[in-house]
Amino acid sequence: MFELTPPWQEVLDYWFEDGLSQDWPASSVTRKWFRASAGDDAEIDHRFGAYVEAGLQQELVDWERQPLSRLALILVLDQFPRHIFRGQRRAFAGDHRAATLAVEGVSRQMHSKLPLCAQVFFLMPLMHAEDEDLQDLCLTSMTALLERSPDFCRQSIQDSVNAARQHRELIRRFGRFPHRNEALDRESTAEEQAYLEKSGRFGQ
């Protein structure tokens, strides 16, 4: 009898490919993470849009129970909406729940049981949070991850630490991410507008 692959494993296989078996994937995978194309966005919507809707409706609570399935749920709530709803308010609809799952998981050391690339994305909702305490937790956790990372992926994790530091600096300066203001129908302050004109777009 064939054993069916659980839905959450499909999410991990797509996002990490061979990364979970060797701590860090090939460069072609990281392109999808940080330089996704419109085609990547469309593929995520086609393959995982139903999971995103279910996650946003809190219908995937059984995924929370163990580290790998919780990671998949974090991806469904934190990463995939940013692709499916790029530039729209709903891109951030899963952020609060994803951050809660990450904080709970870190407090229980669930993330430490995962491969290094998976740990980075387990922590990513903290980097996306408009909350200084969560930003501090993200930077502390990413830095600890860097300290125990092997040479072959050390630069990649250093890049994540650098990004965490940049995100924390923005939250300390503005209390929120100015580059989200348009999508969230928030009026930018004069200082935020000057920053946006100088710095351009900074992720989502």
The closest alpha carbon to 94, from 104, 107, 84, belongs to 84
The closest alpha carbon to 109, from 59, 166, 70, 52, belongs to 70
For residue range 96-124, what is the model confidence (pLDDT) as tens digits? Answer: 999 999 999 999 999 998 999 999 999 99
Residue 34 counted as domain residue: yes
Range of the domain at 130: 7-199
Contact present, 52 and 80 (Cβ < 8 Å): yes
- Identify the pLDDT of residue 200: 62
Model pTM above 0.85: yes
Residue 172 counted as domain residue: yes
Residue 2 counted as domain residue: no
Contact present, 38 and 75 (Cβ < 8 Å): no
Residue 39 counted as domain residue: yes
Domain count, the chain: 1
For residue range 66-76, what is the model confidence (pLDDT) as tens digits? Answer: 999 999 999 99
Distances (CA, A) of 2 to 125, 184, 185: 35, 46, 49
CB atoms within 10 A of CB 26: 11
CB atoms within 10 A of CB 132: 12
CATH of the domain at 27: 1.25.40.10
For residue range 1-15, what is the model confidence (pLDDT) as tens digits? Answer: 455 789 999 999 999
Residue 204 counted as domain residue: no
- Identify the pLDDT of residue 2: 55
Residue 116 counted as domain residue: yes
Residue 1 counted as domain residue: no
